[in-house]
Structure 1
């Protein structure tokens, strides 16, 4: 009897050991299979899309949130109720894990609503091909605001971002240029922000154009010529003052009659001359506005004097085809002298 009991216990131990061995073997097999499957998925996972422009700005969240807090606390405390973390989340949601060529205006709509704020009348300053000058001007003259001086523009200025369908959802290596795809995160953002900035303008609006670029001062393909000009509200905007910036010693192409016609037609405002059949600029009916004579020291000329310590001299007047006057300045340092032209 004792012998039989000992034999039974031995069989139980053997069965138990075999069972443990089988479980261990199954566990090892499961680990090996999981490792192989994970490794295989890693190898076949899609690569980050490659583009020609710079990638997402490093530490993008810290940059955006930091600029936002600086804007609403140090620069514009009246906007202190803005939620910078929500603004960041709405920006991130607009592009993360998305193909950067398939961004839509709807993606940015929550961001536009969270970051929008009123623009005081008579302060809106639009620009084209005068980026450096116009922002040096607004930094020294608080009477005007460009898009980059608003919360949206301030946060996004000189910053880039784009997503990617693969993890981690943000491409820090490269982002698409406009000529690679039109609906990229940067282009869609700036078009929407520019549209909103134009819609908010009221009173007298200023426009700073570069009269020395080969393509001409007014280009219908620019953001100003294709977006902003069409979204100025004629019920709110009373005048548009155009400042032509010219390089002395360089080409001075100015604003030709056809460009004036484009601006006039696009604005649908009585602020610019119309174009007759022979190409001459005509006075708008009942306004008596055309090319105005400008004081010798226009606002931009004063800025140039302050920054570069030179005084315009050799001032003379040159008659236009209409018998009106435009000021010209001689600058011994070769720094641009400026014309302010009001229509």
Structure 2
């Protein structure tokens, strides 16, 4: 009889343990859901730390001076009124160096391009340079009347034309294109109907800065998937060719899988990748 009487008590204890376990698990989930985004959220201090750490990977530069030139472009300004020219002192503090026959431009192919250049050192993109590297993937802005840097509540890319991030990339792209020399390569996307868009940074800024006295050719690598949408006869690429006054133009369709395979074989010459 005593054994029978103890069963309800045991059931109650088990039920209580289960409820406590569930409650603890839910609490852990809630804490992680709140803590993880906060841990990874970009803050002004993290922005400077990231900028400095990336900058110091490039030897021979005064990273403190470059940071100061960077912040003067947007601190204290309306975040929708930061023109490209505001970054002129930054470009002067870390000018782009010509890398003849190695410069790579891209449009709508960022992941493919950077996967390739991260494994092979025969080409260099804007994001592989000091200024492109230190700010890649970051967000920043200032506020009128404030001396602080903000990393949240900043205007998005299309929210206003002269926002700090967009103006920086426009200015840096122009400066990078200004030093393009020799045989230049551009990776464009063959999986969309218009691989070359005059509204893109490549079409609206970089191509227009190419100088025929410095550049010999522009070699387009049209990256294709299994079922390509565009080929080298695409009308938009004909428009690109017309923009290249005095610069030789070539185009080759190359499967993304071929580029990926080639990037994993450092013994293979880069030119043989396409």
- Per the alignment, residue 69 of structure 1 pairs with 56
User: Does the C-alpha gap of structure 1 residues 120 and 70 become closer, same or farther in structure 2, counting only changes over 3 Å?
Assistant: same
Inter-partner Cα distance in structure 1 for 2:151 and 2:207: 34
In the alignment, does 2:261 pair up with 1:261?
Answer: no
Inter-partner Cα distance in structure 2 for 1:291 and 1:108: 34
Q: TM-score, normalised by structure 2?
A: 0.75
Deviation at 1:258, TM superposition (A): 2.5
Contact 1:56/1:174, CA 8 A, preserved across alignment: no
Give unpaired runs (5+ residues) of structure 2: 1-40, 266-272
Deviation at 1:300, TM superposition (A): 7.3
User: Does the C-alpha gap of structure 1 residues 291 and 175 become closer, same or farther in structure 2, counting only changes over 3 Å?
Assistant: closer
Inter-partner Cα distance in structure 1 for 2:96 and 2:191: 34
Deviation at 1:191, TM superposition (A): 0.5
Inter-partner Cα distance in structure 2 for 1:110 and 1:305: 39
Inter-partner Cα distance in structure 2 for 1:164 and 1:85: 22
Which is richer in helix?
2
- Per the alignment, residue 47 of structure 1 pairs with none
Output one character per residue of 1:279-328: Cα deviation in whole Å (capped at 9) or x when no partner. xxxxxxxxxxx667x8xx999726426659xxxxxxxxxxxxxxxxxxxx
Structure with higher RCO (Cα < 8 A, 6+ apart): 2
In the alignment, does 2:125 pair up with 1:146?
Answer: yes
Inter-partner Cα distance in structure 2 for 1:95 and 1:147: 21
Inter-partner Cα distance in structure 1 for 2:183 and 2:142: 39
Inter-partner Cα distance in structure 2 for 1:188 and 1:169: 19
Inter-partner Cα distance in structure 2 for 1:140 and 1:300: 15
Give the alignment partner of residue 103 of structure 2, picking from 119, 124, 128: 124
Give the alignment partner of residue 261 of structure 2, picking from 297, 304, 313: 304
- Per the alignment, residue 91 of structure 2 pairs with 112
More displaced 10-residue stretch of structure 1: 233-242 or 104-113 = 104-113
Contact 1:138/1:144, CA 8 A, preserved across alignment: yes
Output one character per residue of 1:80-116: Cα deviation in whole Å (capped at 9) or x when no partner. 1x21101001111111121010002231111000011
Q: CA RMSD in A?
A: 2.6
For the pair shown, the structure with the greater C-alpha radius of gyration is 1
Inter-partner Cα distance in structure 1 for 2:97 and 2:263: 31
Output one character per residue of 1:123-174: Cα deviation in whole Å (capped at 9) or x when no partner. 1000011111101111111111000011110111111111112545333321
- Per the alignment, residue 68 of structure 2 pairs with 89
Inter-partner Cα distance in structure 2 for 1:106 and 1:262: 28
